[in-house]
Chain A
Amino acid sequence: MKSAWKVIREQCKSLYLIRRLSLYELKSENTNNYLGMAWVVINPLIQIFIYWLVFGKILGRSNDIPVDNGVPAPYIIWLISGIIVWFLIQPAIIQGSKSIYSRIRFIAKMNFPMSAIPSYVILEKFYQHLMITGIVIVILQFTQFKISIYMIQLPYFMFAALAFLFSVSLITSTFSTIVRDVHQVLISLMRMMFYLTPFLWEPARLADAGLPDFFQKILLLNPMYYLVQGYRSTLLGASWYGIDHIGYTAYFWGFVLVALIFGSFVHLKFRDHFVDYL
């Protein structure tokens, strides 16, 4: 608990730094391309197109999917409103995990807390997420899913996603610095999680497919499930997801808190020796 406080205080103190560093990160990542920042948007669009083509068209998922309030949504609309969370989570988890060991040489003797490294890497991904979310919201204005009062949940779910990513990255960045294999394990795990989280299929399908009830319950243990469903309810104006599923909300924040406490503990315990593990 103490270490979690310390890490949070460090974050607050270096807020300006985290902001500037994440902007530089964004810049240095994209200056080599002729299209520059446009890739931040082009890449996800290509992926969405492929998923729509394969799952929506070829596998015949062209029937509409009812959202929380019962209004049927076309597959493509349903897909984009949720998958944008994946476009934040996936790169943030992967980059967050290698954030410390890939930068430690550059950063070793600098006057700022090492816990700021995962946060600025995550923040950089969050800027991209903001752009994509903006575009999705614009697209939705041309459908029946226009901006509604439910949209005020968006900042909440964004914050929830950031809190989740930061807590998890504290753990993964520490362990993958010590044992590099952890990063490889994480990559495989994330690939699995993509299919085990309702990004491409709606939860109702599980019962249709005849999978037992407890299987669904297990899937719910994954906090990304909460985030993607929350985003969907928000963007499609379907329900107050966090309040309607208050128990699940409590589980999500419990998960984040435990991860934060554990992550801060291991981070502080090992950070003076990170250089030795190179």
Chain B
Amino acid sequence: MEKSVIVKNVSKKYKMYAKNSEKILDLISPKGYGKSFYALHDISFEANKGDVIGIIGVNGSGKSTLSNIIAGIIPPTSGSVEIHGEAALIAIQSGLKKELTGRENIELKCLMLGFDKKQIVELTPQIIEFADIGDFIDQPVKTYSSGMRSRLGFAISIHIDPDILVIDEALSVGDQTFADKCLDKMNEFKEKGKTIFFISHSISQMKKFCEKALWVQYGHVEQYGLMSEVMPEYEAFIKKYKKMTKKEKKAFQENVRKSRIVNA
């Protein structure tokens, strides 16, 4: 199997400043100052071409940070990410300019993604058809409903034809018919041998669509394997966690948080 994404020992640290003065100290002192928080700690995994991988984990476990690192939006603090091909992130906040019309936004985004004039002329009708928002395409995006906005954003992102697709909760806003349309499109991608990372809190959607699962727990990879094997364990963990008393929950959270904070 050909590899498409190789993530090796990736960590992402964020500085935690109590005061603004600490920020300045950190900038000035050569060693850095203050406490850091590990959003991700020593993550390693590999993905093959054609894999559809669901990233699961509770809130604050680093799913979005990981997806941003895979898509190349934020650099890791240490470790390496090897990407074979073009990666694209599709998120709810798809970065449309609200004063411009839908059609103008299509050109703008395509331009920024490095398409030339001819390609843009070719792509625009396809994107408009997929977004399916009718006459609104020539209205400013600020007049769109949130559903329409995400449809347009999704339509653009999906037509840029990336080799690696990272979908961060983007499907949860569309209605059922649009979600189905997107799933169809993604199945098409799957057949073409593209790698898809899928983040969603809808477990049923995950089970239906993904073959593999990457369970990220508090910055670590807890498990990585087939969806049918990982998901039951994840569900078991959720169940166990829900059963804990309030005190136990708090102690558990506190413990985890402490382990992610280091000096400098």
**Chain A interface residues toward B at CB < 8 A:** 16-17, 20-21, 24, 27-29, 31-32, 105-112, 178-179, 272-273, 275-276
Q: How far is the CB of A228 from chain B (nearest CB, A)?
A: 33
Residues on B with beta carbons closer than 8 Å to the beta carbon of A109: 71-73, 88-89
Residues on A with beta carbons closer than 8 Å to the beta carbon of B97: 24, 28, 106
Question: Total A-B pairs in contact (CB under 8 Å)?
Answer: 56
Residues on B with beta carbons closer than 8 Å to the beta carbon of A28: 97, 99-100
Q: How far is it, in angstroms, between the C-alpha of A82 and the C-alpha of B111 when the chains are bound?
A: 36
Residues on A with beta carbons closer than 8 Å to the beta carbon of B116: 16
Residues on A with beta carbons closer than 8 Å to the beta carbon of B72: 109
Q: How far is the CB of A100 from chain B (nearest CB, A)?
A: 14
**A-B contacts, 16 listed (Cβ < 8 Å):** A21-B108, A21-B111, A27-B104, A28-B97, A29-B99, A31-B100, A32-B99, A109-B71, A109-B72, A110-B112, A110-B113, A111-B114, A179-B27, A272-B75, A273-B75, A275-B75
Residues on A with beta carbons closer than 8 Å to the beta carbon of B244: none
Q: How far is the CB of A183 from chain B (nearest CB, A)?
A: 15
Q: How far is the CB of B102 from chain A (nearest CB, A)?
A: 13
Q: How far is it, in angstroms, between the C-alpha of A112 and the C-alpha of B100 when the chains are bound?
A: 21
Residues on B with beta carbons closer than 8 Å to the beta carbon of A32: 99
Q: How far is it, in angstroms, between the C-alpha of A276 and the C-alpha of B99 when the chains are bound?
A: 27
Q: How far is it, in angstroms, between the C-alpha of A17 and the C-alpha of B108 when the chains are bound?
A: 9
**Beta-carbon nearest neighbor of B91 in chain A:** A109
**Residues of chain B in range 67-82 having any CB-CB distance to chain A below 8 Å:** 71-75
> Which of the residues A27, A179, A275 comes within 8 Å of B100, measured between beta carbons?
A27
Q: B73 near A108 (CB under 8 angstroms)?
A: yes
Residues on B with beta carbons closer than 8 Å to the beta carbon of A107: 95, 112
Residues on A with beta carbons closer than 8 Å to the beta carbon of B89: 109
Q: How far is it, in angstroms, between the C-alpha of A85 and the C-alpha of B117 when the chains are bound?
A: 34
Q: How far is it, in angstroms, between the C-alpha of A107 and the C-alpha of B113 when the chains are bound?
A: 9
Q: How far is it, in angstroms, between the C-alpha of A1 and the C-alpha of B107 when the chains are bound?
A: 35
Q: How far is the CB of A11 from chain B (nearest CB, A)?
A: 15
Q: How far is the CB of A271 from chain B (nearest CB, A)?
A: 10
Residues on B with beta carbons closer than 8 Å to the beta carbon of A31: 99-100, 140
Residues on A with beta carbons closer than 8 Å to the beta carbon of B112: 17, 21, 107, 110-112
**Beta-carbon nearest neighbor of A24 in chain B:** B108
Q: How far is it, in angstroms, between the C-alpha of A7 and the C-alpha of B113 when the chains are bound?
A: 19
Given known A-B contacts A24-B104, A111-B113, A106 and B75 have beta carbons under 8 A apart: no
